[in-house]
Amino acid sequence: MAEIKTIPDFSLTPRIDQVGIEERASRFTKRSIKNETKIKGLKLALNMIDLTTLEGKDTDGKVKQLCYKACHLHDAYPGLPSVAAVCVYPSMVAVAKKALGDSGIKVASVATAFPSGQSTRDVKLRDTKFAINQGADEIDMVISRGKFHQGEYNFVFDEIAAIKEACGEARLKVILETGELGSYDKVRRASDIAMYAGADFIKTSTGKISPAATMPVTLVMLEAIRDFYYKTGKKIAMKPAGGISKAKLALHYLVMLNEVLGEEWMNNEWFRFGASSLANDILMQLMKQKTGVYQSADYFALD
């Protein structure tokens, strides 16, 4: 991996052609996918999901139920892969860690005053370290969008770098909250800041703001990852989150991922979906492929 020796001037990041990016993203939805490839893609997408519960009403029981679902997807369809991770608040990390046991499924935790990010760096660092000490394998942090919009890019950079250091061996997903950034140019700039500051993943959204993930925004971020890789030799992972609830849409994202970044990124180490309801639709589609009929959504847990 090449060492990053210089930090760019983030005010000079590339401008994005809005019409061009939206046209290219639209083309990925028109690819024809053969049935065998579709089944392979659905299983891959399932293996890339971070099952998530991030509500004020979360309880130990709800988290345990989600973890049980994560570990038993193959009950209805033997041979299915597991999901990638279960994502919870820091206070629920220990519950999830125990419930997942030796399943191999990661425990991810949001941190840094999620979802607003409106707190001091000291609080954000303590939030992160608490989640790590409870057993989190991954941390999903939010950037300080207010500082970003004020043009305080060094503040945003330094905060991400500090959280990355606090993560130790845990991987860091940096949430840009693209629905609050306002333009593709700003999405690109925030992506570059996050990657140069040490992000292991760049992530679109918290899922609490609309719009959340979109294909054009994700394409901007994938191209930022590609350019960063060409400049530094360092691979960065991607996580679109929020609004991806249908299997067909997930397949469109995988087509885009493959065409922009290639086969090396086509696994859950380098790509995730933050979309719990997506798992149910994938299961329904796979059962349709297997049996020829759709099962009722009532057969699948909502969480």
Which of the residues are catalytic? 140, 203, 239
Give the Cα separation of 247 and 278 in Å (integer): 6
Is residue 143 within 8 Å of 160, Cβ to Cβ? yes
Residue 258: Cβ-neighbour burial (10 angstroms; 0-12, 13-18, 19+): middle
* Helix-strand-coil split of the chain, %, nearest 5: 50, 10, 35
| DSSP string of 52-83, one letter each residue | E---TT--HHHHHHHHHHHH-GGGTSTTPPPP
* Residue type, position 116, single letter: S
59: left (phi over 0), alpha (psi -120 to 50) or beta: beta
Give the Cα separation of 185 and 206 in Å (integer): 20
